[in-house]
Every structure is written in C-alpha cells, then in structure tokens.
Amino acid sequence: MDFLNALVALLNFVVIPATAYGAQLALGALAATLVYGVLRFSNFALGDTMAFGAAVVILFTWWFQSMGISFGPVPTAILALPFGIAAMSAVALLTDRTVYRYYRRVKAKPVIVVIASMGVMFIMAGITRMIIGVQEIQFADGQKFLIDPTAFRTATGLNEGLALRMTQAITVVTAGLVVWALFWFLNRTRTGKSMRAYSDNEDLALLSGINPERVVAITWIIASGLAVIAGTLYGLDKSYKAFNYFALLLPIFAAAVVGGLGNPLGAIAGGFLIAFSEIGLTYAWKKVASYILPESLMPDGLMQLLSTEYKFSVSFAILIIVLLFKPTGIFKGKAV
Amino acid sequence: MTNARNRTLILFALMGLLLLLEGTVHWQVHPLNADAAGYTILSGSWNVVLEIVLMCLLSAIMALGVNLQWGYAGLFSTGIVGFVALGGLAGVLVSLPPVTAVWNAAGVGRLVVALLTGLGVVGLAVFAYGHLKGRARTWGVTAILVGGFFLYRAIFDPAVAYIEANDPAAAGNIGGLGLPALVAWPAGALMAAAAAWAIGKTALGLRSDYLAIATLGIGEIIVAVMKNEDWLDRGVKNATQIPRPWPVPTEVSLQESQRFLDFCANWGLNPVNASTIAVQLLYALLFTAVLLLILWACELALNSPWGRMMRAIRDNETASGAMGKDVTKRHLQVFILGAAICGMAGAMLVTRDGQLVPSSYTPLRFTFTIWLMVIVGGSGNNWGSVLGAFLIWYLWNKVFDWGSAAMWSATQYMDPASGLKTALTGSAEQMRTIVMGVILLVVLRFAPKGLLPEK
C-alpha cells in the first residue's frame, strides 16, 4: 500500500507534470531546431512568437466564448488554435519578407541574423503586451480534471490522490499528434524531403532544383505553427503571462542543443530530458520518501535538491555539460 | 580621417543639443479628456536632464564593455545583465556595513567553510577528471560531485538558516565589508571578471550561437541567485542604504552646510533644488571621469598591436590561428575585460541608486538595450558606443513620454469609457519596446556600421 501511495505521489507530482512540460518544451525545441536547420540561426524571437501566438489564440477563445461556442470538455482554446496558427504563419512570412530575407540574400553571418531576431523579439514582445496586457490570464475552460484526485482517493482507498488535469492530457495528446504529423511530413512528402535535403546540404539541394524560398516559407509556417501550439499549451497548463515566455527560451534552446541542433528527434528527446531533470531536481521528495523509507531513516529536510526558483539553472547545467563533452548533442546535430 | 572626426563632432553636438532642449524648453500637450497636467514632450527641467545623463554615462561604460567583446572580437554575449547585476552585488558586499550579529562561527564562519568546501569539491572533480581514465573517470567525477553536493548543503543550509533568522525585517543577510563605496567599483569589475572567466572557459571556442545561449543562461542564473539568496543581498527585500562614493554628500548634509547656504543665497538659488542638482552634478563628474578613463584605455588598446590582433582574429579566425595567435585565449581575455567593465558600471549604478533591487535586472533593460546602443553607435568604434548609449537612453526615456502624449492625442475624440482607448493610452511602455526593436532592425539593415562607423 505504501509503495502504491509512493507511486501515485510520484506520478502525480513528477511524472505527469514533467510529461506535459516536456511535451511543451519538445514542441518549442522542434520549432527552434527546424529554423536552425533550414535558416541556420538561433531564433531569439521564438519565445515571443509563442507569447504572441498564444495571445491571438486567447483573443479567439474569448470571441468564441462570447458567441457561446465551446468544445465540450476540451478547452475552447483548442478550437481557436488553427486561427492562431494561421495568424502567426502570416506574421512569420511577413517578418521573413521584411527582415530575414535580406540577410539570406547578402549571406550575412549567422550572428547578424541572431541580432536581427532580437529586434523582431522586441517588436513582438511590445505588440503582444499591447494587445493582451501583462497581467496573468486563465483561459482554460471545459472540464478541469480527467482523473479527479478526490474521486481517485475514494475509489482506490489510497492516501494519495492522482490528478490528471484536462490541460495536461490535451497537451500530451496534441503534442503526440503534431509530432506524428511533422515526422510524416518530413519523411513521406516531397516537400518535407526537400526541406530535409536543403537542411542537410544547401548547395546540393539548390543544384537539384529545390526552390529555396519555398522551403524557407514552409519552414516558417511549420515553425510558427509549432510555436503557437507550444505557447498555447503552456498557457493552458500554467496560465498565460506574456513575460513568462522569454524565460522559456533557455530550456527550449537547451533542449534543442542537447538533442543536437537541427535534429528533430533530438529536440523531442531533449525536451523531455530537460523537463524531467528540472522537475526531478526541484521537487521536494519528502512526500514520496515518507511512504517508502522507514521512519528512522527519514531526513529532516524537504529533500529538495534545488529550490524551484533555480529550475532554469538545471537546463543551463545540462546545456553546459553537453556543450563541454558532446558539442553536437546526444543525437548528432550539425555544429557548423 | 578628418571626415570621420567631423562626423563624430557633429553628432555629439546634436546629442548635446537634444539634451539642452530637454533642459531649457518646457513643452506640454493637453489633449481633450486627458489629465489636467497634460503630457510632457520636453520637460524643461535640468534635474530630468541630469537624471538621464547619469544613466547615459553608466550605459556608455557598459556599451564600451560590450563593444570590446563584440566590436573588437566579434563575441556575441547575451549575459550582460548578469555581469551588471554582479557589479551591483559587489556594491552591497563591499560597502554595506557588516551585520555583526551573524559574523560568528555559526553564521559567516560556517558559510565561508561551506563555500570553500564547494570550491574544493569542484577542484577535486576537475583534478579527478584530469587524472582518471575511461569508466573510472565518469563514475569518479559523478561520485565526487554528488557526494560533494550533499556535503556542501549539509554545511551550508544551517548557516543560511541562522543568518536569515537574524532580524529578517531589517537584516537577514551578512551585510558587507564596510569599505568605502569607491572600493566597490573595482570590486564589481573583479567579480564580473571572475564569472566571465568561468563562463568563458566553458563556452568560448564553441560556435557563436552556443555562446549566445550559454551567456543568456548565466545572466538569468546570476539574477535568480540574487533574487533568492536572502543571506547574500536580502533578495527581493532589496538591500538599501548603500553608501555614496567619496566626494558625493547627501542632500541633507549639503542643506545643513553654512557654506552651501551662503553660496545659494549669493546666487539666489533655492537650497533644496540646488542641493539635488549639486549631488547629481557630482555624480555626473565622477562617472564622466571613469568613462573618459575607460574610453582612453579602450582607444589605446584599439590602436595598439593588441587591438590589431583582435580585429585580425575577428575578421578571420583561421588565418590568425595559422599566424600563431591563440584565438581561444584572446577571446577569453577580451570577454573577461568586457565583462569587468560592465561589472564596474553595475557597481557604480547601485552606489548611485543607494539600493540593490535584484528584480530590476531584466535582460530587456540591461542586455538588449546595451546591444542596441553598441549597434546604433557603430560596432567597433568606442566613440560610437558612447554616442549610441546617450542617444538610446535619451530615446528610451523620451519615447515613453512621447508615446503617452501621442496615444492621448490620437484617442482624444474617442469615448473616454471605451476599452480601446484605455488599451491604447496604457501602452506607452510597450511603445518603447517596439520603437527600440524598429531602431535595431532599421540600423542593422540600412546602416549596419552604425552612426559612427569603425575606421
């Protein structure tokens, strides 16, 4: 019984939140890695693209709610997602046309493009805060729990309740579907293959008649789609605050670098690695330990290795370790 | 050559003119339905000008540091906020008086032992990494680090609990060394340099994007530590009453000084206003002296064989490496120097503000804005960095005022109760961010060499 209690506590406080968070990071890291693979720069505006996209989704959600449209137990925001994706794809294409294309033409150094993406970040951050404000917004509606902790407790007779929130389930399901669709696209369709070819070897791809502008445009559409989904799921799961998304840059980049920049599979693995390490190291293990350790062996403290304020240092530490010992990432990425 | 000099002179003169206008012309707009006070376009107040100029001077010092890293060496670091914050921490740790109640074996003594233990563990791990091989190395280093971490926490945690329990409302920290505030400035430089050494050792020599990401992380971590470690700097409770640097008196002591009162009476000045302005002026003089010193040193370095070597490395690493230059070592050197300058500016900032507010260190304000200054001014040109710092900080201040005024004027015929009007008039802060972004993109695209191009 104690063992079951420990297992439920572990699931409840570590495994489920980390899986949801990992899925969000993985989607963000996929966006980072795709842009890196095709356009060859680290997009610092990614965090604010996520914030902007989520803001658009929230606006549509409110509009739908005001018209009385809902999606049953599923949050209305999921209905609004396609609109957010469409809007952000348009923004990304416009940004590419006005900002990034020029640097591609003059073959600017990647670092110059990174600085340009800083400018884009400034503008996007400003616009996002202008249209939605800086306050915290809860926009998750529909059913709250898929597994209700009190119901679980009464049904099983355990001390620990297992909570699976709707937003967490939606996150994992959506992320799974998106990743499946992305890999199908990259591996099975002609356009996807041309994207991978362009990412692997630009010159060879150009030589075989692949239209670079088309590849770039599709990359932007996919990357902003991923960013909007990641941003919305993160906002649904945690609550939306425009400022929080900038801080997501570090874990997202860390995930992309750990998995190997430019490698989609690595980005997913990296996202989950970062999420599980972050939550595992900042979780107070006392509760789990109290079920499995005998009384005499219980330490006094909370058994928390790091306070939660330092969760970003976990992604940073992982990033540094990988950079020091395996700079191309766990799954070979490109180190140009 | 003369052309470039003329350009520098003209642009600096124009910048001076902008500040002169700010100090002399009082201009407000009064849109319908606005507050009775109206909206300021130009304040016409020398106090405001001095306020702006002081931050311009400090930003110029930071921009010189970033220019060293980016303009001379092409290193793209996004952790400037961390180095500035560390400098601020030095202001606290050096110039605040010690909290004597905890300077005993259970408090600071134990803390020092813990920190030395931490250092020892890291040293041992590095040693083991160098002297073991294969699997023994992996396991050995991991065991040392994990065991060391628990040992460190076992010594460290009680010390922190003890220190933070001491009068949490007023203290709860260890205080500082009680040295003069002027000592904190070089100390800030040293602390930032030490951090830069550690991060440079690991992240330099990798590709440029990695350096950007790694430094972004170190910046956030430094600020997080300062926000959460109450024993160090009182965290978000803010360390206050940081003493002023040597020649700067407090306003009150000036107002009590008979000589100052006589001086004011002679010139027909209001002693209260005059004392504020006198204090600001003294700060401005001090900061200008430091800025000129650093500027002089940077110019000297730029025109020395060392400067030529740095530019050679920046422009072609492979060729310089083939000529026998140790690229990674030179990068590390210039990275540390740049960070030290930023740290010094950070220390100067807190000795002026009189307090350390860890939550004020945001990347937007202290990393990306400084970058903007360097790029707008002209990467690689020290005078450009100074000019950029003045211009951007002036705009940073004024765009807020102008944005408010513009939004009120644009919406003056709208229904005062409408949500759109509230949203628009409340968005001046966001306007600032957007304008800064647009400036960056425009300069980068149409004048990538900046206002004062590198020779």
Q: Do B441 and A99 touch (CB under 8 A)?
A: yes
Q: Do A316 and B364 touch (CB under 8 A)?
A: no
| A9 contacts A152 by C-beta, under 8 angstroms | no
User: Is residue B243 pLDDT above 80, yes or no?
Assistant: yes
User: Is residue A124 pLDDT above 90, yes or no?
Assistant: yes
Q: Do B207 and A250 touch (CB under 8 A)?
A: no
Instruction: Name the more confident of B61 and A239.
Output: B61
Q: Is A14 on the interface with B (CB under 8 A)?
A: no
Q: Does B277 lie in the same domain as B144?
A: no
Q: What residues of chain A lie within 8 A of the CB of B76, using their CB? A: 111, 114-115
State the average pLDDT for chain B: 90
What value does the mean pLDDT take over residues A259-270? Answer: 89
Task: For residue B273, name the pLDDT band (cuts at 50, 70, 90).
Answer: confident
What phi, psi does B454 have (nearest 5°)? -65, 140
Sign of torsion over alpha carbons B317, B318, B323, B326: positive
Q: What residues of chain A lie within 8 A of the CB of B202, using their CB? A: 320, 323-324
Q: What residues of chain A lie within 8 A of the CB of B220, using their CB? A: 247, 250, 312, 316
Q: Does B57 lie in the same domain as B28?
A: yes
Q: Does B120 lie in the same domain as B86?
A: no
Q: Which has the minimum average pLDDT: A96-100, A222-226, B101-105?
A: B101-105
| CA distance from start to end of chain B | 8
pLDDT for the residue numbered B450: 93
| A65 contacts A76 by C-beta, under 8 angstroms | yes
Angstrom distances, CA of residue B430 to CA of A100, A126, A132, A249: 23, 5, 11, 20
Q: Do A250 and B213 touch (CB under 8 A)?
A: yes
Establish if B361 belongs to a structural domain: yes
Give the burial class of A247: count Cβ atoms within 10 A of its Cβ; 0-12 exposed, 13-18 middle, 19 or more buried.
middle
Angstrom distances, CA of residue B1 to CA of A52, B8, B35: 47, 11, 52
Distance CA A333, CA A218 (A): 21
Distance CA B215, CA A249 (A): 12
Q: What is the pLDDT of residues B384-414, one digit of tens each?
A: 999 999 999 999 999 988 888 888 888 778 7
Closest by Cα among A265, A273, A82 to A179: A265
pLDDT for the residue numbered B345: 97
Q: Does B348 lie in the same domain as B267?
A: yes
Angstrom distances, CA of residue A133 to CA of A52, A149, B391: 11, 34, 28
Angstrom distances, CA of residue B143 to CA of A273, B111, B146, B148: 21, 23, 5, 8
User: Is residue A334 pLDDT above 70, yes or no?
Assistant: no
Distance CA A321, CA B6 (A): 50
Q: Given A305, A312, A323, which is nearest B210 (Cβ)?
A: A323
Paired tokens of B251: 């306003």
Q: What residues of chain A lie within 8 A of the CB of B224, using their CB? A: 309-310, 312-313
Strands B27-29 and B39-42: antiparallel
| B61 contacts B292 by C-beta, under 8 angstroms | no
| A218 contacts A283 by C-beta, under 8 angstroms | no
Q: What residues of chain B lie within 8 A of the CB of A250, using their CB? A: 213, 216-217, 220
DSSP state of B411: T
Number of A/B CB contacts below 8 angstroms equals 135
Residues A148-155: contacts with CB under 8 Å, at least 24 apart: A149/A12
Q: Do B212 and A42 touch (CB under 8 A)?
A: yes
Q: Does B309 lie in the same domain as B260?
A: yes
DSSP state of B29: E
Establish if B45 belongs to a structural domain: yes
Report H helices in A40-148.
46-66, 76-95, 101-105, 110-132
Question: In chain A, where do the E strands start and end?
Answer: 145-147, 164-165
Distance CA A4, CA B315 (A): 63
Closest by Cα among B71, B31, B59, B25 to B395: B59
For B250, other C-beta atoms within 10 Å of its C-beta total 13
pLDDT for the residue numbered A320: 83
Establish if B190 belongs to a structural domain: yes
Q: What is the pLDDT of residues A179-203, one digit of tens each?
A: 999 999 999 999 999 999 998 888 8
Chain B residues with CB within 8 Å of chain A CB: 74, 76, 78, 149, 157, 202-203, 206-210, 212-214, 216-218, 220-221, 224-225, 227-228, 363-364, 368, 371, 375, 423, 427, 429-434, 436-438, 440-441, 444-445, 448
Task: For residue B377, name the pLDDT band (cuts at 50, 70, 90).
Answer: very high
User: Is residue A285 pLDDT above 50, yes or no?
Assistant: yes
What value does the mean pLDDT take over residues A115-140? Answer: 91
Q: What residues of chain A lie within 8 A of the CB of B216, using their CB? A: 249-250, 253
Distance CA A212, CA A223 (A): 16
Rg value, chain B, Cα: 25
Closest by Cα among A226, A238, A172, A147 to A20: A172
Task: For residue A336, name the pLDDT band (cuts at 50, 70, 90).
Answer: very low
Q: Is A180 on the interface with B (CB under 8 A)?
A: no
Q: Does B183 lie in the same domain as B165?
A: no
| Chain A residues 309-328 with CB within 8 Å of chain B | 309-310, 312-313, 315-316, 319-320, 323-324, 327
What phi, psi does B207 have (nearest 5°)? -70, 160
Q: Does B157 lie in the same domain as B188?
A: no
From the candidates B80, B364, B433, B438, which should be mutated to test the interface with A, based on the most A CB atoms within 10 A?
Answer: B433
From the candidates A115, A128, A306, A321, which should be mutated to test the interface with B, based on the most B CB atoms within 10 A?
Answer: A115
Q: Does B158 lie in the same domain as B216?
A: no
Closest by Cα among B223, B175, B231 to B359: B223
Task: For residue A144, name the pLDDT band (cuts at 50, 70, 90).
Answer: confident
What value does the mean pLDDT take over residues A243-269? Answer: 90
pLDDT for the residue numbered B210: 81
pLDDT for the residue numbered B317: 87
Q: Is A257 on the interface with B (CB under 8 A)?
A: yes
Establish if B455 belongs to a structural domain: no
Report H helices in B166-207.
181-203
Q: Given B74, B220, B444, which is nearest A312 (Cβ)?
A: B220
Instruction: Write down the ipTM of this complex.
Output: 0.91
Closest by Cα among B344, B367, B192 to A44: B367
Q: What residues of chain B lie within 8 A of the CB of A120, using their CB? A: 437, 441
What phi, psi does B42 have (nearest 5°)? -130, 135
Establish if B453 belongs to a structural domain: no
Distance CA B60, CA B376 (A): 12
Q: Do A129 and B430 touch (CB under 8 A)?
A: yes
What phi, psi does B375 have (nearest 5°)? -70, -40
Closest by Cα among B150, B144, B147, B153 to B125: B144
Distance CA A115, CA A295 (A): 56
pLDDT for the residue numbered B408: 80
Q: What are the residue ranges spanned by the domains of chain A?
A: 2-325
CA B360 to chain centre: 11
User: Is residue B427 pLDDT above 90, yes or no?
Assistant: no
Distance CA B350, CA A120 (A): 31
What value does the mean pLDDT take over residues B286-297? Answer: 96
Q: Do B220 and A125 touch (CB under 8 A)?
A: no
Q: Given B206, B210, B375, which is nearest A115 (Cβ)?
A: B375
Q: What is the pLDDT of residues B215-241, one digit of tens each?
A: 888 898 999 999 999 899 998 889 988
Residue B217 identity: G
Q: Does B147 lie in the same domain as B62?
A: no
Count the residues in chain A.
336
Percent of chain B with pLDDT over 70: 99
Angstrom distances, CA of residue B19 to CA of B44, B154, B244, B397: 10, 56, 26, 12
Q: Does B308 lie in the same domain as B279?
A: yes
| Chain A residues 115-144 with CB within 8 Å of chain B | 115-116, 118-127, 129-131, 133
The residue in chain A having the minimum alpha-carbon distance to the alpha carbon of residue B432 is A126
Q: Does B149 lie in the same domain as B290?
A: no
Beta bridge partners of B98: B175
Residue indicated by tokens 């990798």: B206
| Chain A residues 225-254 with CB within 8 Å of chain B | 246-247, 249-250, 253-254
Q: Given A111, A122, A324, which is nearest B440 (Cβ)?
A: A122
State the average pLDDT for chain A: 90
Residue B289 domain boundaries: 2-98+175-446
Q: Does B162 lie in the same domain as B209?
A: no
Q: What residues of chain A lie within 8 A of the CB of B227, using their CB? A: 309
pLDDT for the residue numbered B35: 64
User: Is residue B207 pLDDT above 80, yes or no?
Assistant: no
Residues B264-272: contacts with CB under 8 Å, at least 24 apart: none
Distance CA B51, CA B401 (A): 15
Q: Which has the minimum average pLDDT: A84-88, B128-132, B209-213?
A: B209-213
| CA distance from start to end of chain A | 54
For B115, other C-beta atoms within 10 Å of its C-beta total 14
Distance to chain B for A282, nearest Cα, Å: 14
Paired tokens of B127: 């040693």
Distance to chain A for B278, nearest Cα, Å: 37
Write the CATH number of the domain with boundaries A2-325.
1.10.3470
From the candidates B80, B314, B444, which should be mutated to test the interface with A, based on the most A CB atoms within 10 A?
Answer: B444
Paired tokens of B56: 């311009």
Q: How many domains does chain B have?
A: 2
Neighbouring residues of A75: CB distance < 8 A, sequence distance ≥ 6? A61, A139, A140, A141, A142, A166, A167, A170, A236
The residue in chain B having the minimum alpha-carbon distance to the alpha carbon of residue A336 is B207
| B387 contacts B13 by C-beta, under 8 angstroms | no
Q: What is the pLDDT of residues B77-86, one digit of tens each?
A: 999 999 999 9
User: Is residue A158 pLDDT above 90, yes or no?
Assistant: no
What value does the mean pLDDT take over residues B153-181? Answer: 89
